Amino acid sequence: MQDTKLSQVVRSYVGAYEAGNRALAESLLADSFTFTSPNDAGIDRATYFELCWAEDDAGRDQRIESLVVDGQQAYVTYSCTGHDGHSFRNTEVLTFHGEQIASVNVYFGAAWPSAAAA
């Protein structure tokens, strides 16, 4: 049952980004949230929203390809197409504290110049 709930949290998180719904995303992240990617070394929650929720970045098409929950971690791979037509594919490892996301580690995938090329 916990796996189902955490899967719903991940789907809500991805959906919040796709819809540009920052309030929903904020409600899903723990106060001590950290974000790591090839470009970001364990940034805090405030910095994450400043850098990763720029007005021109949210509201993109994002589709979950696979989602696996294992205890208090989830692994999600998604494809994404931005407003400029560029597409890419990433995998994220999310760690939870209860039913809130405590950390996200992003592993960048390939980028394509247009959705048609993907």
Summarised one tens digit per residue, pLDDT across range 10-63 is 999 999 988 889 999 999 999 999 999 999 999 999 999 998 887 655 557 889
pTM higher than 0.75: yes
pLDDT of 29 reads: 98
Determine the 3-state secondary structure of 69 from DSSP: strand
The domain segmentation of the chain, as residue ranges, is 2-112
d(CA 85, CA 96): 32
d(CA 113, CA 115): 7
| CATH architecture type of domain 2-112 | Roll (3.10)
Identify the sign of the CA torsion 34, 30, 21, 64: positive
Task: Report which residue type is found at 10.
Answer: V
Q: What is the pLDDT of residues 81-101, one digit of tens each?
A: 877 788 889 999 999 999 999
Tell me which of 117 and 103 has the higher pLDDT.
Answer: 103
pLDDT of 118 reads: 45
pLDDT of 17 reads: 85
